[in-house]
Structure 1
């Protein structure tokens, strides 16, 4: 892959990619709670609600298996365009076909499309950055996704104007970004080695063995993100919150992550990423544990969700940064793939496990398990020792 040397053009391409990832965040941040509300109103059980929500991450997981090969065949721009088209068409179909079974299929398609554009855009940003600005570029990229994901639930009140309105707004947004990508981005392809092959075999297992503590945060982040957005609307309705209160509370998990992402990155540079991950896991997990005790106290729940989301909302990026500290450069691409797998597995597990727990009647069990997982992760850090150092 060869990016243009023109700095202004490079910045233009970068901000177009940022717009792409904001749209991806918006689609997931709005679809999860809106469809969860629809299914709850239809009398669908919380466990089935969670299973339906997990379909999005089934599609994302499936796309991860073939994204690298597809990228080599069609290039960055065409993969992004394909993802945008797939999501846009699915958004149009949701209100037209109000069927739980069809929605499951459509969510799989949205997951495939979102994963395709996210994979291509993230890798493009990584490859067009230099060693001097790569951390800042990836940080802004991650914050942009979080911004889109956080803004998404604010679209819930659009339901007052019609059940199809949120989907129509998202579809129009995707169409605009699709046109910008098509006319403004070049269709670059990733560079290949002289042999035309990829990395050595066994790289995924080796990267996990050397950096499992740095790669597990991706699972926890996916579990939290999907679980909160899919299960909290159901938790809130059953606990006594109004639809407006649920819409107002949901974004603060992401807002907390946006506010603390840069400070946590700075602190991890200064005090060590393992220490910051452990402290954030313990404090953030404890805040999740306290949510059921706060009952329907709006402000107490808001504060707890903001602090918890702020502390664990950077787990994916902090984990990858820690993996980069630990692993040789040769294993970093494999580590990114492993982290993506973990994120998708966590995203599939979150809505299903949380829905199954609430199905038993233990409404607060969703937050108890979520908080416990973060505290357990922090505790395992006591056994993690670095076995190798990053090599230049």
Structure 2
């Protein structure tokens, strides 16, 4: 196994997590300070999701033309340019377009980076090494709000820090090999439908985690502010959720190499449902802190286990296409999650965010109870 390449690819993807962890909450806090409501903030949070859908259809084609490493470098620099323009063009309509471009470019990085990692790892270490990827990515997002808290949200230092990271990240990929080979092929929604019919549990889990991540980084700070917490406590709560995601992914990955991955998956779904329902009940008590940890850990575990299960089944071009479907599902989840939670918070209930996650997790629990839920169905 190429360990140096594994860590180089890991580092490049982590730079994306840190850049998003700094810039996404800053955008939401900036819009809230300008007087925009939850729905407008939710629309802004959903824009990268549309970019994800566009980027997913281009990833295989771009990698086929340029090769995986060159395509990743190009898109990292594209993301840097987009975030830099957010800093110099403080306009809601312009930010909508720039967030779309950010979603497109960084989606290609995720698709190709996850494919590259799953191609490199050996089967007996797959759970731990994919979990290390998931845990490290979550830690990079955790560091994002912490860095933002240090830099402050009253100026544009956070945007410039994110831009600098994405400018430097492509350099670690120079000279690296072992990437999957792929054809120049555009992934369509018809292909996505076939993937969802083959693996509906994995498809649902990915879309649910995407909604979770988009809402946590963009709407959770606003949710906490509206429940009476200060901006510092709100950002600390976001960080606590991501800590749960990050810290417990490694034990989950280790267990995935030793026990039934399907049983572990089902346990994460149940834990996410219960913790989501507990948030409104325990928000004003000390018990909310361990609930935040379980909330993040169970959601992150679903995504990590989904990547592990995909890595078991696919290689090379098929692996890149499968991860393109992951990105499409990610885009759908990122699009619907903030929109539904933002609208629900403004017009139905102030606790719409955790309740929406509880409903999604309950649907996943039902799917996991179906016979042969984790076996690819014929289409």
Per the normalisation by structure 2, the TM-score is 0.89
Unaligned stretches of 5+ in structure 1?
Answer: 1-6
Query: What secondary structure sits across from 2:349 in the alignment?
Result: coil
Query: Closer, same or farther in 2 for the Cα pair 1:256/1:282, shift >3 Å?
Result: same
The answer to whether the 8 Å contact 2:269/2:361 transfers is yes
| Runs of 4+ with >6 A deviation | 196-199, 328-331
Q: 21, 35, 48: which one pairs with 2:13?
A: 21
Distance 1:19 1:380 in 2: 35
The one-character-per-residue Cα deviations of 1:253-290 (angstroms, maximum 9, x if unpaired) are 12112222132234445552332222222222211112
Report the more deviating stretch, 88-97 or 381-390.
381-390
Q: Which has the higher contact order (CA 8 A, sep 6+)?
A: 2
In the alignment, is residue 338 of structure 1 matched against residue 339 of structure 2?
no
- Count the aligned residue pairs: 375
Higher alpha-carbon Rg: 1
In the alignment, is residue 255 of structure 1 matched against residue 243 of structure 2?
yes
The answer to whether the 8 Å contact 1:231/1:355 transfers is yes
Query: Closer, same or farther in 2 for the Cα pair 1:323/1:105, shift >3 Å?
Result: same
Distance 1:266 1:189 in 2: 25
1:142, CA displacement in angstroms? 2.1
Distance 1:356 1:67 in 2: 32
Query: Closer, same or farther in 2 for the Cα pair 1:288/1:98, shift >3 Å?
Result: same
Residue of structure 2 in register with 1:374 after alignment = 361
Residue of structure 2 in register with 1:170 after alignment = 162
Provide the alpha-carbon RMSD of the alignment.
2.9
1:137, CA displacement in angstroms? 3.1
The answer to whether the 8 Å contact 2:268/2:301 transfers is no
Distance 2:320 2:68 in 1: 17
The answer to whether the 8 Å contact 2:241/2:295 transfers is yes
Report the more deviating stretch, 254-263 or 215-224.
254-263
Alignment of 1:7-18 (within 5 A): 10-18=2-10
Distance 1:249 1:212 in 2: 32
Query: Closer, same or farther in 2 for the Cα pair 1:56/1:254, shift >3 Å?
Result: same
Residue of structure 1 in register with 2:223 after alignment = 235
1:103, CA displacement in angstroms? 0.8
The answer to whether the 8 Å contact 2:130/2:308 transfers is no
Per the normalisation by structure 1, the TM-score is 0.86
1:335, CA displacement in angstroms? 3.9
Residue of structure 1 in register with 2:96 after alignment = 104
Residue of structure 2 in register with 1:293 after alignment = 281
Unaligned stretches of 5+ in structure 2?
Answer: none
In the alignment, is residue 191 of structure 1 matched against residue 166 of structure 2?
no
The one-character-per-residue Cα deviations of 1:36-64 (angstroms, maximum 9, x if unpaired) are 11111111111111011111121122100
Q: 203, 206, 209: which one pairs with 1:218?
A: 206
1:387, CA displacement in angstroms? 8.4
Report the more deviating stretch, 107-116 or 265-274.
265-274
